[in-house]
Amino acid sequence: MKVFVVGKGGTGKSTVSVALSLILKEKGVKVISLDPAHNIKDILSYGTVQGIEVVEPDFDEELKKYLKKLTDTMKKEAFRYLTLFNLENLVDTLRYSPGTEEHMLLEAIEKHLSDSENVVFDTPPTGLFLKVLGLLDSNILWISRLIKIREDIVKRKNLKDDRILELLNVEFAKLNSLKENLLKNAVFINVMNEDALSLRESKRIITFLRKRGYRVILNIVNKSSTTQTFFENIKHINIPPISGNPYNIASGTSRLLEEIIKEVNDESLD
């Protein structure tokens, strides 16, 4: 099961992510925190649970490594006009380029989505996460247009091999395969509270995801004092407020979720 836990900030996405990992841990599970403000390890530190692998990537560090690799490749590829730029400064500026954070998140999703075990993605707040998924679609479109222009150039110049076209095609195939993988293998669980803002944001998330063909299989109404259903055509569960330390809350949530998760997991595999 590859599951993305989405929802408004503060609704309990991380708690639900830990709860899901407790349910899935027997068959091996990895929790990936895509939220730069990680707190999965914090929650688990209150318990003594084993068998859960937690990945909390340091996106700044990942980006630094990525740009270092890039600079080295550029030097190896004997950049002829290297002297025109102060390369280190140029690359340093790129760290602050808009969209870089979203790209790094997309890379992290791609890296872990192909893992063979169960993976729970604890997503960043809605705005950023929807931008990341939107970026995937816009990148596919963007690269397909670039490929068309490049193919025309290659044809006009009668070139046999073109490294740039080759790399564009590789990138296009990679993004398409990620999209296909997300549509086919990933499921989304929305976590909301009963307040009006949380409801509005949930509507936006669910509409966004469904419009793009993603499967939203469950709506969790967390810290709920009623049994109210908010979305007619999605399975739902109301989780009452649970007291105790963060791990106790996650553990209590997992007991309440266990049955419905097995049910939606079986259905999603059909």
Partner 1 sequence: MNVIEILKAFFKEKAFSFYDAETQEKEKLFSFLLFGWILGFPMPSSLLSLKLLPYADEEISKLLLIVRDLDDQFGKALGQFDID
Q: Please, which residue, 70 or 197, has the CB nearer to partner 1? A: 70
The residue among 85 and 114 lying less far from partner 1, judged by its C-beta, is 85
Is 140 a binding residue for partner 1 by CB under 8 A? The answer is: no
Residue 110 touching partner 1 (CB under 8 A): no
Residue whose CB is less far from partner 1, 27 or 76: 76
Task: Compute the least distance from the CB of residue 164 to partner 1, in Å.
Answer: 6
Instruction: Considering the complex, state which of residue 166 and residue 259 has its C-beta at the smaller distance from partner 1.
Output: 166
- Which residues inside 49-108 make contact with partner 1, applying CB under 8 A? 67, 70, 73-74, 76-77, 79-81, 90, 94, 97-100, 103, 107
* Least separation in angstroms between CB 79 and partner 1: 6
The residue among 2 and 150 lying less far from partner 1, judged by its C-beta, is 150
Q: Which stretch binds partner 1 (CB under 8 A): 30-38, 164-172, 221-229, 231-239?
A: 164-172
CB of 66 to partner 1, least distance (A): 8
Q: Return the amino acid letter for 31.
A: V
State yes or no: residue 153 binds partner 1 (CB under 8 A): yes
Instruction: Measure the CA–CA gap between 57 and 32, rounded to whole angstroms.
Output: 8
Taking CB under 8 A as the rule, does residue 167 contact partner 1?
A: yes
Contacts with partner 1, residue ranges (CB under 8 A):
67, 70, 73-74, 76-77, 79-81, 90, 94, 97-100, 103, 107, 139, 142-143, 146, 149-150, 152-153, 156-157, 163-164, 167-168, 171
